[in-house]
Amino acid sequence: MMKQLAFYFEQEHCTGCSTCQIACKDKNNLEVGEQFRKVYETTGGNYVKKGNVVIQDIYAFWTSISCNHCIEPACVKKCRTGALYKRVEDGIVVIDKDKCIGCRACVNSCPYKVIQYDAVSKKARKCDFCLDLIEGGKDPVCVSACPM
């Protein structure tokens, strides 16, 4: 492999606006419930009264997750037909729709749960790092849409 492209997510800047997720859904024409990118919110903490003072340790943060285009992808190893493969030139994990038989082995093996099964086409679908944009020298839509 010549290089490995990856998403670099700066959690301290994320406001949870989901613009990255919406841009991805729009570009890939995803149906309701389909998501190649997910934004998770984590919250917690409490207000504690100590005497006459109320102390808070409230927190909230967001994590944006998509296909990690893993160095050793479990989905590629589990694919029976070779439909899922890792591109040598940039490390992007892609699906050859002509070879995909819809067995869902990749869906079940992904530790990040980001591969989707499309019931209409009966094929697996996932983030392809916006290959058409990358090959044109542009950023993926989730990256370019982020207001931060």
The domains located in the chain, with CATH, are 11-145 (3.30.70.20)
3-state SS, residue 91? coil
Mind listing the pLDDT tens digit for each residue in 89-103? 999 999 999 999 999
Asked if 80 contacts 57 with a C-beta cutoff of 8 angstroms, the reply is: no
User: What's the pLDDT score for residue 2?
Assistant: 73
Mind listing the pLDDT tens digit for each residue in 31-52? 888 999 999 999 999 999 999 9
Dihedral angle over CA of 28, 34, 36, 40, nearest 10? 140
In the chain, the amino acid numbered 4 is Q
Question: Which one, of 72, 79, 128, 119, lies nearest residue 99 by Cα?
Answer: 79
Cα–Cα distance measured from residue 87 to residue 44, given in angstroms and rounded to the nearest whole number: 40
Asked if 127 contacts 36 with a C-beta cutoff of 8 angstroms, the reply is: yes
